[in-house]
Structure formats: structure tokens, C-alpha cells
Amino acid sequence: MALYMIGDVQGCGEPLWQLLKKVNFSPSRDTIYLLGDLVNRGPTSLEVLRQLRDWGSSAQCLLGNHDLHLLAIAHGFGRLKSSDTLDEILAAPDRGELLAWLQSRPLALNAHGWLMVHAGVFPQWTVADTLSLAREVETALRGPDAADFFGAMYGNTPAYWRDDWQGLDRLRCIVNALTRMRLVDHHGAMDFQIKGDATGAPPPWMPWFEHPERQTQGQPIAFGHWSTLQASQRADVLPLDTGCVWGGCLSAARIIEGSIDVEWIQQPCPQAQSPGD
């Protein structure tokens, strides 16, 4: 049995199939962990969604900000952007089944020694906090009031974490950390405007994983979302979004049980869009 973590696919089906062919992936034997942003911007989001769903437990998929955007649009909230490639899913005859499957995906996983999220975690959060808070959002997504959540999902506030946040503000803050976070300041507040490489971030901003009081230091964390981030020098941090949809590569990391070392496998992607969220 082989285990792989894979960065942002974003509807780029062909690079995903080629990557899995390289590693001789078999859904009857192996497991892949996809770190969110399964759909959008790429040309085959519908095909990707159908295949991942059909692989069942062999494809463990996290929700990213693009996946949540699709779900919000489907519930009547938000608006399609000119760069979105979601129309095929929204018009598909199996739309309901696909969206229900997507809506039941988690926002964080802890497996084989790795904490997996799409974007980041607040400095104050432990691994247990991260998983517990992710479950709060997952419960809202799967409950009868999911539409209320999607109606309030968009927005940048609150930008910092407090344990006593309540209601939709609390859920939005958790979602923004897990699916949109890149930079934080010394107080742990998030920035959503700076999108380049971390080396160009002006003070007081720093990559979330460089915060000196981060409670998850030493815990191996794999994440996506940040396609312009250069490879981290930290042994406990594994950024896996290598900009497939922007003309880069789709990357997988084979998990080596009992070790934080990984084996990298990459597949070039021919897309040529401008980097964004």
C-alpha cells in the first residue's frame, strides 16, 4: 500500500491522471490525500470531481476555498468570476450527487503523522484545536442550516482568532484560516491582500508557519493554496501547491511511514493563467 499527498488540482484532470500513472496508483491498494481546491480554473473540473468521488475512501479529499466557492454558488450565494470554470458542474445531470459528496468532505485531516489542511492554522491552535474547529465547520456544512453558512461565508473578518467568537463570525474565521491563510502578523491576524512569495512580505507580515509562538511547531503539516511560495526550509512544513493550473507542476509527496521525509513526484501542467486565489 502506498500513500500520497497531492497539492491543488484545480480541475486539471490530465496532469492528475498522468501523475497517478507515474506512481502506478491503484484505488484498490493505495490512498491519495488531496489537499483541497479540487476544482476551478482548470478545464476538467467535472471529470476530476466525478473520478475522485468514484474512488471512494481511496481518495481522501479536503475542502479548499475554490471548492467552498462552488458550493456557495450552488446554494445561491456569491457570484461566478470570469476566470471560474464551474459551469459544467453546475449544469451536470449528477450535480446534486457531486455537490453532496463535496459538501461532506473535511477541512482538516491528521493521518500517518501528518496534519493536512488546505491553507494554514492560527498560531494559537494545537493539532487537536485544528481538528476540533474544522469539525465545527463540517457540522455546519452537513446540517440543515448550511445555506446560512454559505450566505455569510464571504468576508475577511474577523481576521484574528479568539476562543469566544460565536456563530457565523466564528465559522468564517475558521474557514478563512483553513482555506485562505498565507500571512499573519505578530498577533496572528491574517492578511488577504499580499499574494506573492513569502520573501517579499513587508513587516510585520510573515508566513503563518514562521510565527514564533505557533503551537503546531514540530508537527509535520502539509498544505496547498500558496502557489507562489518557494519551498520551505522547515522540516515540519510541506507546501504542495506548485502552481499546476498556472503552468507549473502538479506535485505529490509519498508518505514514508515513521518518517517526516517524503518522496516527491511531479507532473508538468500546460495551463497558462495568472496566479490568484
**Coil, strand or helix: which one is 216?**
coil
CB of 102 within 8 A of CB of 49? yes
Question: Which letter, b or e, does each residue of 128-137 get, where b requires 16 or more Cβ atoms within 10 Å of its Cβ?
Answer: ebbbebbeeb
**CA–CA separation, 6 and 263 (whole Å):** 12
Residue by residue, DSSP assigns 2-66 as: -EEEE---TT-HHHHHHHHHHTT--TTT-EEEE-S--SSSSS-HHHHHHHHHHTGGGEEE---HH
**CA–CA separation, 222 and 117 (whole Å):** 7
Q: What DSSP designation does 262 have?
A: E
pLDDT at position 277 is: 59
Scanning the structure block, which residue is given the C-alpha cell 471512494? 56
pLDDT digits (tens, 9 = 90+) for 236-252: 999 999 999 999 999 99
CB of 35 within 8 A of CB of 240? yes
Instruction: Give 233's contacts (C-beta < 8 A, 6+ positions apart).
Output: none
pLDDT at position 273 is: 53
Least confident span in 16-30, 90-104, 254-268: 254-268
- Give me the chain's average pLDDT, please: 94
pLDDT band with cut points at 50, 70 and 90 for residue 272: low
pLDDT digits (tens, 9 = 90+) for 165-190: 999 999 999 999 999 999 999 999 99
pLDDT band with cut points at 50, 70 and 90 for residue 226: very high
Sign of the C-alpha dihedral computed for residues 98, 101, 104 and 108 taken in this order: negative
Q: Among residues 24, 34, 26, 30, which one has the least CA distance to residue 2?
A: 30
Q: What is the mean pLDDT of residues 55-82?
A: 97
pLDDT digits (tens, 9 = 90+) for 104-163: 999 999 999 999 999 999 999 999 999 999 999 999 999 999 999 999 999 999 999 999
User: CA torsion angle for 181, 51, 85, 61 (degrees, to 10)?
Assistant: -10
List the domains of the chain with CATH numbers: 3-268 (3.60.21.10)
Helices (H), the chain: 13-22, 45-54, 65-74, 87-90, 95-103, 127-142, 146-153, 167-180
Taking the CA atoms of the chain, what radius of gyration do you get in angstroms? 17
